[in-house]
């Protein structure tokens, strides 16, 4: 049976066609705006789940040293090619649940659409590892895929169909088909596609799970996507586009870790 790292590796060659992440590198992105506020002089940053490395050149320009981490060799291979002329980017093939053996004393950790582990135990172990490699005054920021944005798109698709005269039951079927609902488990927030299983986040889950794992959420806002990447997007342009969630967090002391403890 293939592991998730195999599936991600396979996805590397067709990454740009299948994923919508590059939108987080537009100048208006809250991720880039937050990064620009950090003085990276003399600092070490980790790009956790760097994928094919779209963020690495930006980080390499700003920080003294960049650790590019991913568990999928196919992704790392493309990221290495992108950074062939950079001397301050180090690559590590490892999973988030095993970071502390290779990384420590990180000033800034970034995770862009990579905190998607379908098993919550693995997801939380990864978050706790990220906390353990950060300096006490470090920062953790990133982008999380939003399950509530799928609900929003669905609502607009249903109303679009109703507006065209479809009976409601048919409008729902139309929305489910266009929104690829068969790929989602809405109750548990998961998305399965070509063997890849990804956790999609609810906004209320973000402070909750970060706090369980030793972080305090400092800022949460929508990172807007482009309608051009969504079914019937051309018809829905009068509405604000769907989003992912941008977060900024800081590590807290072990004494204030979740009363639930690690599970």
Can you give the binding site for ligand SAM, defined by CB under 6 A?
8, 19, 21, 49-51, 54, 70-72, 75, 95-96, 112-114, 116-117, 126
Helix (H) or strand (E) holding 197: strand 196-199
**Any bridge partners for residue 243, and if so which?**
224
Nearer to ligand SAM, 147 or 161 (CB): 147
Residue 47 CB, nearest distance to ligand SAM (Å)? 7
Phi, psi of 66 (to 5 degrees): -120, 125
Chain residue at closest Cβ approach to ligand SAM:
51
Residue 88 CB, nearest distance to ligand SAM (Å)? 18
Nearer to ligand SAM, 50 or 206 (CB): 50
Nearer to ligand SAM, 96 or 227 (CB): 96
**Any bridge partners for residue 198, and if so which?**
191
Do 94 and 71 form a contact (C-beta atoms < 8 A)? yes
- If you ran DSSP here, which 8-state letter would residue 124 be given? H
Q: Convert 64-103 to b/e letters by CB count within 10 Å (16 or more is b).
A: ebbbbbbbbebbbbbbbebbeebeebbbbebbbbebeeeb
> In the chain, how long is the greatest CA-to-CA distance?
61
Residue 237 CB, nearest distance to ligand SAM (Å)? 25
Q: How far apart are CA 100 and CA 105, in angstroms?
A: 10
Give the burial class of 256: count Cβ atoms within 10 A of its Cβ; 0-12 exposed, 13-18 middle, 19 or more buried. exposed
Nearer to ligand SAM, 44 or 116 (CB): 116
DSSP string, 246-263: EEEEEE--GGGS-TT---
Residue 14 CB, nearest distance to ligand SAM (Å)? 13
Residue 239 CB, nearest distance to ligand SAM (Å)? 25
Nearer to ligand SAM, 47 or 107 (CB): 47
Nearer to ligand SAM, 130 or 175 (CB): 130
Residue 129 CB, nearest distance to ligand SAM (Å)? 10
């Amino acid at each position: 049976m293939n592991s998730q790292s195999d599936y991600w590796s396979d996805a590397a060659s067709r990454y740009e066609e299948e994923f919508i992440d590059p939108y987080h590198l537009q100048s208006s992105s809250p991720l880039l705006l937050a990064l620009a506020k950090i003085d990276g002089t003399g600092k070490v940053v980790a790009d956790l789940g760097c994928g094919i490395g779209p963020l690495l050149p930006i980080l390499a320009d700003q920080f003294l040293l960049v650790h590019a981490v991913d568990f999928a060799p196919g992704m790392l291979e493309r990221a290495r090619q992108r950074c062939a002329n950079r001397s301050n980017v180090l690559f590590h093939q490892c999973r988030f649940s095993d970071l502390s053996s290779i990384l420590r004393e990180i000033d800034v950790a970034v995770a862009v659409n990579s905190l998607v582990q379908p098993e919550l135990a693995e997801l939380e172990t990864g978050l706790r590892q990220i906390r353990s490699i950060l300096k006490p005054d470090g920062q953790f920021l990133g982008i999380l895929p939003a399950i509530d944005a799928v609900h929003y798109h669905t609502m607009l698709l249903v109303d679009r169909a109703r507006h065209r005269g479809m009976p409601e039951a048919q409008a729902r079927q139309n929305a489910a088909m266009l929104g690829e609902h068969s790929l989602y488990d809405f109750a548990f927030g998961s998305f399965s596609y070509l063997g890849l299983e990804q956790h999609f986040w609810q906004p209320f889950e973000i402070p909750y799970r970060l706090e369980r794992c030793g972080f305090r959420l400092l800022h949460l806002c929508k990172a807007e996507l482009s309608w051009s990447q969504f079914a019937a997007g051309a018809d829905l342009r009068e509405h604000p586009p769907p989003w992912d969630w941008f977060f900024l967090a800081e590590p807290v002391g072990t004494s204030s870790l979740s009363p639930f403890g690690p599970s």
